[in-house]
A and B are shown apart, each in its own frame.
Chain A
């Protein structure tokens, strides 16, 4: 099929020479957009898993350590009898120092700061915890105690990521449309350039599909070539992004990496583009030929 000789001199067409490069460019952009959605997906899953099973109780710093201790005991007591909570653990002063150190520096003066007391609460997965009720009881026991269940923050974060993802998918759809449009344009030009030869084939008794096959095979080959160029350019880009993000080594940013499935989807992009181009060219030719007697 690939080595078939063609009756139309499509290989000599100047107007289709740019097609592989345009398609390479579009496949490149499509892969980046696609990789973006994959990475964000991974991010959402990781953050959702890590954050939604926990909440943090914050108790205001009291005047003296004894009062602090009493407050903590009261809070723990309330938390441990509340339904849906599997564990409540006081964040030690040492851990607090560790969390603050990157921002404030490791100085002994830290211990003199009136830091709030934090209790790390682990929730029973799947249970619906009545955060409001717990907060009310905590506030009654320890004035100004508050609960941060990360939900509000996480929801906003997820909404942002989903929006970015939707934009990436729209870009992907636009790239597909642009590819289809380019193939249609190239095919129509080809039909016009080879009109005389097509008419001869037609009068000799060629079926429309016989003529369409020559165009669709050609479009497929050009798109395949372009697709592989695009893929070849996209892979180093993705690897570079991955390496740079790994070098950042920031705790808040999970590893920007993709699994085998994702790499596989990206790997078949040239093939998918070739099929898209083939089908587009075929329908363009058939539609045009249908106007002949």
Chain B
């Protein structure tokens, strides 16, 4: 058991989910994610990975069981307090869900604007992050004009821009080449180092093997937690030579993180 302020960032107890009157997509799912942990979420397609993620990012209510996020029981949390919880969660949707009428810049800026961050802060952070994911030339491009891989990077940038406490990524490296996949995984590792709890749903077995993070395995609607899952995972260090002349990315967006500003300047 971790002994920080949050006992668990995410806790599921006997959660069941069914759509309408259909069969249960998830059955008796129980697990906890400790602060600062990072997990892969594995399972054949149709095993319920996306449903599990949707429950975690508050797009769905469970049919039964208890879900708590940041130690708040979702069922008893008043609706008006949910946006505050959602802002602590970054989501990379499998189909990106970028707003096609907005530029890449405005898409990534959304979480900050929704949270009421000042426009000059927004400008600075969004430009910085988009440059880091290699989209400096495409700040004003609309998603339909970008390639699949570029769109995916915009989606990831939008998910991490507000430095969420919990990052949920559904196949985040499905459309990018290996090198970019590695860079994005490095970005996740950086965030994880700064305390973000991360769940990455993936089919990429090579990556799972290489990074050796603990796994949540879904099979026929039930969840199996790999041995290390309840402990914060030891960080698998990246091979720095693969990211040689890249400066490590640090986010300065949120006002509650002056520490990161000083890190950046050092």
Contacts and interface: CB of A to CB of B under 8 A. Distances in A.
Contacts of B138: none
A205 B158 CA distance: 12
A205 B114 contact: yes
B113 A203 contact: no
- Sorting the interface of chain B by its residue count into under 10, 10 to 19, 20 to 34 or 35 or more gives 20 to 34
Interface in A184-200: 196-197, 199-200
Given A203-B91, A206-B83, A293-B79, 15 more contacts: A7-B99, A7-B102, A12-B101, A199-B59, A199-B97, A201-B110, A203-B58, A203-B86, A204-B111, A204-B114, A204-B158, A205-B85, A290-B79, A293-B58, A293-B60
Contacts of B80: 207
A9 interface: yes
B61 interface: yes
B194 interface: no
Contacts of B146: none
Nearest to B96: A200
A18 interface: no
Closest 9 CB pairs of A and B: A205-B87, A205-B86, A9-B101, A206-B114, A205-B83, A204-B111, A207-B83, A197-B99, A200-B97
A157 interface: no
A263 interface: no
DSSP majority for the A interface? helix
Given A196-B97, A197-B99, A203-B59, A293 B110 contact: no
A204 B86 contact: yes
Contacts of A210: 114
Looking at B89, B91, B113, B114, the one whose CB has the most chain A CB atoms below 10 A away is B114
A37 B228 CA distance: 80
B61 A203 contact: no
Interface in B94-115: 97, 99, 101-102, 106, 110-111, 113-115
Contacts of B241: none
- Sorting the interface of chain A by its residue count into under 10, 10 to 19, 20 to 34 or 35 or more gives 10 to 19
12 contacts: A7-B102, A7-B110, A7-B113, A9-B99, A196-B97, A199-B59, A199-B97, A202-B86, A204-B86, A204-B110, A204-B158, A207-B114
A203 B115 CA distance: 12
Interface string B47-85: 000000000011111000000000000000001101111
Contacts of A202: 86
B61 A293 contact: yes
B82 A293 contact: yes
A141 to B, nearest CB: 84
A293 B83 CA distance: 10
B115 A205 contact: yes
Contacts of B58: 203, 293
A188 B86 CA distance: 25
A133 to B, nearest CB: 74
Interface of A: 5, 7, 9, 12, 196-197, 199-207, 210, 290, 293
B87 to A, nearest CB: 3
Nearest to B91: A203
A9 B158 CA distance: 19
A204 B101 CA distance: 17
A204 B87 CA distance: 6
Contacts of B83: 205-207
B254 to A, nearest CB: 13
Nearest to A7: B110
Contacts of A206: 83, 114
Contacts of B57: 203
A108 to B, nearest CB: 87
A159 B91 CA distance: 68
A142 to B, nearest CB: 84
Looking at B61, B83, B110, the one whose CB has the most chain A CB atoms below 10 A away is B83
A84 to B, nearest CB: 69
A290 to B, nearest CB: 8
Looking at A197, A199, A202, A205, the one whose CB has the most chain B CB atoms below 10 A away is A205
A127 to B, nearest CB: 65
B59 A201 contact: no
Contacts of B82: 293
Contacts of A207: 80, 83, 114
Contacts of A293: 58-61, 79, 82
